[in-house]
């Protein structure tokens, strides 16, 4: 069920935020409490995730379309990878190291610039890291 996916993914993100030091009652409050530690694109995605979660649970007239659910899942997976990399920098490919020109890109920038296959690889690496860390 789509509501189950929404609940499961938001609970995971909320727990990752708490591990980073977030405080508050919901995702919006938690992300506000640590927004100085996060990239603006990640904050925007977390607020989108929180809004879809709240609308799904509280707005009787909200229609969770396949497009909205797909965007929710994509955003949740990206945020999960990003937050997990903050908690354990070795859990995903090290995409925030400086290049030879001296500039550095954040994980979300690298993820956004990656091809579809590259994104699949990044998410797959994160999933493998999570599975291995839980075993």
Q: What is the pLDDT of residues 80-90, one digit of tens each?
A: 999 999 887 66
pLDDT band at 116 (very low <50, low <70, confident <90, very high): low
Q: What is the mean pLDDT of residues 29-42?
A: 94
Q: Model pTM greater than 0.85?
A: no
Whats the size of the chain, residue-wise?
135
Whether residue 5 contacts residue 57, with contact meaning beta carbons closer than 8 Å, is answered with no
Q: 93 — phi, psi (to 5°)?
A: -55, 140
**CA distances (Å), 85 to each of 4, 19, 52, 81, 106, in order?**
25, 12, 24, 6, 10
Contacts of 85 (CB under 8 A, 6+ apart): 91, 92, 96, 107, 126
Q: CA 55, CA 69: separation in Å to the nearest integer?
A: 12
Q: Which of 4-13, 44-53, 100-109 has the lowest mean pLDDT?
A: 100-109
Per the model's pLDDT, the better-predicted residue between 93 and 9 turns out to be 9
Candidates 95, 88, 101; CA nearest to 119 is 95
């Amino acid at each position: 069920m789509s509501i189950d996916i929404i609940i499961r993914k938001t609970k995971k993100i909320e727990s990752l935020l708490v591990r980073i030091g977030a405080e508050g009652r919901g995702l919006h409050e938690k992300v506000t409490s640590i927004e100085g530690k996060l990239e603006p694109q990640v904050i925007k995605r977390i607020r989108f995730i929180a809004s879809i979660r709240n609308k799904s649970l509280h707005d009787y007239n909200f229609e969770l379309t396949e497009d909205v659910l797909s965007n929710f899942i994509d955003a949740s997976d990206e945020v999960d990878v990003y937050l997990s990399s903050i908690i354990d920098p070795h859990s995903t490919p090290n995409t925030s190291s400086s290049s030879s020109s001296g500039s550095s890109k954040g994980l979300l920038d690298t993820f956004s610039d990656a091809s579809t296959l590259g994104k699949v690889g990044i998410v797959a690496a994160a999933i493998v890291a999570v599975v291995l860390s839980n075993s």
